[in-house]
Structure formats: C-alpha cells, structure tokens
A and B are shown apart, each in its own frame.
Chain A
Amino acid sequence: MVDQPLANLVALTLNHGKYVTRIAKDAKTGRTELASWRPHLLLVDLDAEDSDGLALIGQRVENRRVPTIVFSVRGDLKTKLAAFDRGADDIITVPFVPEELVARTLALMRRSYGDGIAFIPVINVAGLQVDLLNQQVKVGKLRPELTSMEQALLYLLASNPGQTLGREEILDALWGSDYVAGSNVVDRHVRNLRLKLGDHWRNPRFIGTVPGKGYRFLATP
C-alpha cells in the first residue's frame, strides 16, 4: 500500500528479519492478499494516493487480528488517532530511518508472537554488506561507519536499483517536508556516502549521478 520507492525501502529493511513480503498497490488488492495469503504483519501507508488504507486496519483474518504498523506523515494527529482507534499497533512517521522500522517491527512481532522472531543485523545489498546494529558497511576491505542518515540514504537508493530518484523525492523520503527547500543536504550526504564507499563520482560503482535529475543506484552484477 505504498508508493514504489518507499515500498521497496520497507521490503529491503525487513530483510533484517527474514520476512517474505508482498506489496499491494491499493486497498482492494490489500484485502485480497490479507484473506488469501494471511500475513503475520500488515504495513499500511496512510498517505498513499488511493488511500483507503484505513479500512484495512483492524480486519480479522480467520478470527485472528493481524498486527499492523501504519505509516503517516508527521503532525497528522487526526489520522494517527483514527488508525490507533481502529486497532493499529504502531505508527511510523515518514520520513523514517531503517533502524526505526526494524526496531518497531521487532518489538511488535515479539509482543504478538513471542520471542522466536529472528533479527538479522547484517544483510547483503548489491555487493555491500550492511550491519544495521553497528552502522557499518563492508565494501571489499573498506569498513566505513555510516551515520543513520547516510545509512537511510544508502537503503533508499539500493532498494530502488537502476531507478533515478530525484533530489526532492529523496529529501521528502528522508528529511521530510519541514526541511528548507533548496537545501543541498542531499548532495552533501551523497558526497559523504560516496567518500565512505570509496566511490568516485566520475566512475562510480554504486551511486551514479543523473545530470539534472538526481541519483541512481547502479545494480552491480
């Protein structure tokens, strides 16, 4: 129930918990998947264009409540209260960083299903080994330490390989609409990230610049 870059980011981040994910693009598909696939966890974007997402919350599947996390923009109290009122278990405010999603998902899964939920701190993303707990990436012999924002940026780009993401799109996803427009914060973070990954902007291995458009994660074979 989320727009594509965000859905991909969520799916990638959930790899830290060995989840199998399916993305439903609208409420109707969501309802069908709920009934036929019977997921352990439901994630709903309440800001999605076709948002009838609220109606998905609190539905029982085979007499079982599906633990639910919703995504909402900051400051929107009405939506949050309505979601909690319908039985949402937790809310993640967009923009979010990957560890926020991992921590909340893990806490909810433990609360709902007990202790047997695996958490995988290290995952492989397109030739990079990312350690979420220690905020460390392994690229060949390099082991740079990333800040949360750099890690979030890397996840966002890497979860949408080959696709160009505009500066505004990145800004909205990671910093939110409160951030001052025209800020060069995205470029600054890309520069730092490239430096840490040993990526050269002329001949990048991971993050390519798309002139006049934005940035693109290069899918390494």
Chain B
Amino acid sequence: MAALSGRTRGGAKSPETEAPRALIVMNETLGNLVSLTLQHGSYETRRTTNPQECRDILGDWSPHIAFLDLDLYEQFIDIVGRGLTHGHTPIIAFTRRRDTKLKLSAYERGADDIVEMPFTLDEIVARPFALMRRAHSISVTIVPKIKLDGLEVDLIEQRVTVGGRELNLTPIQQTLLYLLAANAGKALSRDDLLATIWGGEFEIESNVVDRHIRELRVKLGDEWRAPRYIETVPGAGYLFKSQPGLSTAAD
C-alpha cells in the first residue's frame, strides 16, 4: 500500500545501515510491548492481525523476522512460514500453554524459536538477536537505553531511572511497568495484565497484579491518590499516564 523506497528483496545483501524489519502478529496490548522492546534493537515494526494485510506486508515489506502469538493467531504461522514466494520468514512464536505437542508442531510448521509467557524483556531482545544472526547473518545493534514518558530503561543493566533516580525493579515489575508504559493513556484491566504477563495456566495468587502495582508505585514514589505515573481507573484497571515534556527535561 504505502510506497516503500529502498527495500531489498529476498537474497539481496542488506546494507549495514538498513534497519531490521519486524512483523508483529499480536493483539494491541502485547504487540505494543514487543514493539517497544524491539526499539532496543533499532527495529522497524508493523503489526497486523488481518490475514490479507499480513500477506501484503510480507510481500511488500519483506520483514526479516516475525513475532507471532501462537495462542491467538495460530493460523498465521502458515501464512508467515509458508505463504511466501521468496522464502520463509523466521518466526518467534509466543505461547502461554504448557503444551509440548503444540510446541513441537510449531517448530515443524516453521517457528524458529518459542517464547513462553510469562516472559521477561531480555528474552525479546536476546532471542531475536540470535535469530537475526542465524537467519540473516545480521548482528543487530543493541540499544541499551531507551526513553519513554519520563522513564529511562536500560535493559542490559536492568536499570530503570525516573528523573535521574534509579529504581530497583524485579524483572516482573520491569515487564509490568513496560507493559503499562507501552500502552500509555489506555487502561489495562487486571485480566489483561495477568493474561499477558503470566498467561492463564500459570498458578498465581489472584491479587498478584495489585501487589506488583503497589510495589511498583512505592518504587516510583507514586501516591495512589494523586499518581504521577500509574493511575487506578475504577472498574477498568490501571493506566499509565502520558508524560509529555518529561522525557528530556532533567528537572
């Protein structure tokens, strides 16, 4: 659809400067998180959950790599893995199900790697890094720090700073914060957060989301009555407030 300039086809050697292209077949909540995390590797991303659009993107844009939610969009594995004229697009599949049969069949159908939920962010940086090397001999430059809405996240050192102050977050808290921030301005329900981070099958105490939010707020110095970052939306869940102007100012 949109005209793309300078795209390279199939076997053509990609110039060093070309950004790796990642196709994301996931719902918005998870897709935004993956997309944001991929900014640590200077990827360009596109997201779709429509089969025709997916074929178009594969044909016009030739992504280097695809991220696919196997539980929700299983049929896409055949579109991405097989339906191409110029070869197979390497796939990283995500699943919440502890199902060996499903995984083995996913590998057979073209998945190159599988990420299990709950995942931590380093997985979504390290696994694509390995796959890009294996499939395209491209060494993706890792951008250790990215800034979003007043937060600075250093994935390699696992450091999150807010206005220059360092927060000491566990991997799960970091994932939760990231998930909220990747969907800034939109309330995410407990169920949505639970399903995205832990998946349905994981045995978990039901208040685990609230507990982690509480701990996260304490670390952010967030007051629940007048929060600066994470707001409670009664009946809807939690919302990360957009912080325009905070991202560069030191004070």
**In chain B, what residue has the closest Cβ to A177?**
B170
Q: Which residues of B contact A104 (CB under 8 A)?
A: 114
- Size class of the contact patch on chain A: 20 to 34
Within 8 A of A (CB), among B188-210: 201, 203
Within 8 A of B (CB), among A177-210: 178, 185
Query: How far apart are A116's CB and chain B's nearest CB, in angstroms?
Result: 15
Query: How far apart are A96's CB and chain B's nearest CB, in angstroms?
Result: 9
Q: Which of B6-14, B42-50, B68-76, B121-129 contacts A (4 or more CB under 8 A)?
A: B121-129
The tally of CB-CB contacts under 8 A between chains A and B is 71
Query: How far apart are A76's CB and chain B's nearest CB, in angstroms?
Result: 7
Interface string of A76-91 (1 = CB under 8 A from B): 1110110010001111
The reply to whether the CB of A148 lies closer than 8 angstroms to some CB of chain B is yes
In the assembled complex, the Cα of A93 lies from the Cα of B134 at a distance in Å of 20
Query: How far apart are B116's CB and chain A's nearest CB, in angstroms?
Result: 7
Q: Are A133 and B100 in contact (CB under 8 A)?
A: yes
A106-B104, A133-B100 as given contacts; A81 in contact with B126, CB under 8 Å: yes
In the assembled complex, the Cα of A76 lies from the Cα of B156 at a distance in Å of 8
Q: Are A185 and B126 in contact (CB under 8 A)?
A: no
Q: Which residues of A contact B203 (CB under 8 A)?
A: 147, 149, 185
Q: Are A78 and B156 in contact (CB under 8 A)?
A: yes
The reply to whether the CB of B158 lies closer than 8 angstroms to some CB of chain A is yes
Q: Are B98 and A97 in contact (CB under 8 A)?
A: yes
Could you say which of B100, B116, B126, B170 contacts A80, with CB atoms under 8 Å apart? B126
Query: How far apart are A158's CB and chain B's nearest CB, in angstroms?
Result: 18
Q: Are B104 and A103 in contact (CB under 8 A)?
A: yes
Interface string of A60-86 (1 = CB under 8 A from B): 000000000000001111101100100
Q: Are B98 and A75 in contact (CB under 8 A)?
A: no
Q: Are A93 and B142 in contact (CB under 8 A)?
A: no
Q: Are A132 and B100 in contact (CB under 8 A)?
A: yes
**In chain B, what residue has the closest Cβ to A183?**
B205
In the assembled complex, the Cα of A149 lies from the Cα of B198 at a distance in Å of 14
Q: Which residues of A contact B174 (CB under 8 A)?
A: 75
The reply to whether the CB of A100 lies closer than 8 angstroms to some CB of chain B is yes
Q: Which residues of B contact A100 (CB under 8 A)?
A: 116
Offer 25 A-B interface pairs, CB within 8 angstroms, sorted by A: A74-B120, A75-B158, A75-B171, A77-B125, A78-B156, A80-B122, A80-B126, A81-B129, A81-B142, A84-B126, A84-B129, A89-B130, A90-B113, A90-B130, A91-B130, A93-B120, A93-B123, A103-B104, A104-B114, A110-B107, A133-B101, A147-B201, A147-B203, A149-B203, A178-B171
Across the A-B interface, the 10 shortest Cβ-Cβ residue pairs: A77-B122, A148-B98, A75-B171, A80-B126, A99-B100, A84-B130, A103-B103, A107-B107, A74-B120, A75-B120
